[in-house]
Amino acid sequence: MDLQYLLDFLRRLAANNNTAWMAEHRADYQRARAACTELVRQVLAAVSPTDPDLENLTPADVMFRLHKNDRSQRDPEPYKRRMGAGFKRGGRHAERAGYFLAVQPDGMSWLGAGTFWPWPAMLAAIRQEIHYSPDEFHRLRQAPELLQHFPLGLEPTGPQLVRPPKGYAADDPDLAWLKLKTFGVGQYFSDSEVLAPDFVARVAAGMAAARPLVGFLNEAIGG
């Protein structure tokens, strides 16, 4: 698993993010993609035996394309500066909470867990579950094992509504959480951490620590 080559390729891509350069370095891309695929395969092998949601998934089910799908007219770069995967039952685009791993140079590699910018119906369901089961929600978001891997936890200062969501009182004790538009935790890894022998084990441990919170979100969503 040549993660050093993957980091080096992504660093070169960031400096030459255009289709002409990619065409000239297609073989380099394939080698970097193979390294990322092997990383994802090893993560799946580490987590799937204890997580039924991730059983039978393959790297092809969960890996994201390098090409941007949502590029605006102001974005001249056709390619993402990272490679990664979304580990969820049903694959990377399933409308569920899950886990997200991205490899990006210069300390920007990232592991996330939860649901980031969920669809309105998913968001409404999560808010309702927090309102109905606040004690469980707070227990899970403050779990010591979760915070060991994701020290910032689930922050109430993330993207949020200006006013209370429809149907909730302005004096609701959990208003700070009900106003959130995204529900996830994350941690960054330095390049040296990505290259360390225990990187897959750390990713797997972080996913395991976040599993109860992810399960709460999926139960709310109906999965």
pLDDT of residue 197: 97
Which two tokens mark 138?
């707070």
Q: What is the pLDDT along the chain (223 residues), one digit of tens a residue?
A: 899 999 999 999 999 999 999 999 999 999 999 999 999 999 999 999 999 999 999 999 999 999 987 655 577 889 999 999 999 999 999 999 999 999 999 999 999 999 998 999 999 999 999 999 999 999 999 999 999 999 999 988 778 999 999 999 999 999 999 999 999 999 999 999 999 999 999 999 999 999 999 999 999 998 6
Distance CA 201, CA 50 (A): 14
Q: How far apart are CA 220 and CA 223, in angstroms?
A: 8
The first and second tokens of residue 100, run together, are 């997200």
Burial degree of 183 (CB within 10 A; 0-12, 13-18, 19+): buried
pLDDT of residue 119: 92
Using CA of residue 83, residue 36, residue 86, residue 139, what is the dihedral sign? negative
Q: So what's the pLDDT on residue 155?
A: 84
The residue written with tokens 């941690």 in the block is: 187
Instruction: State both tokens at 13.
Output: 């891509």
Q: Where are the domains of the chain?
A: 3-221
Q: pLDDT tens digits, residue range 144-201?
A: 999 999 999 998 877 899 999 999 999 999 999 999 999 999 999 999 999 999 999 9
- Find all residues with CB under 8 Å of 154, minimum gap 6, and list them: 114, 141, 183, 184, 185, 213
Specify the residue for token string 């979304």.
86
Confidence at residue 73, expressed as pLDDT on a 0 to 100 scale:
59
Q: Minimal CA–CA distance to 32: which of 54, 49, 55, 8?
A: 8
Can you read off the two tokens belonging to residue 173?
């004790």
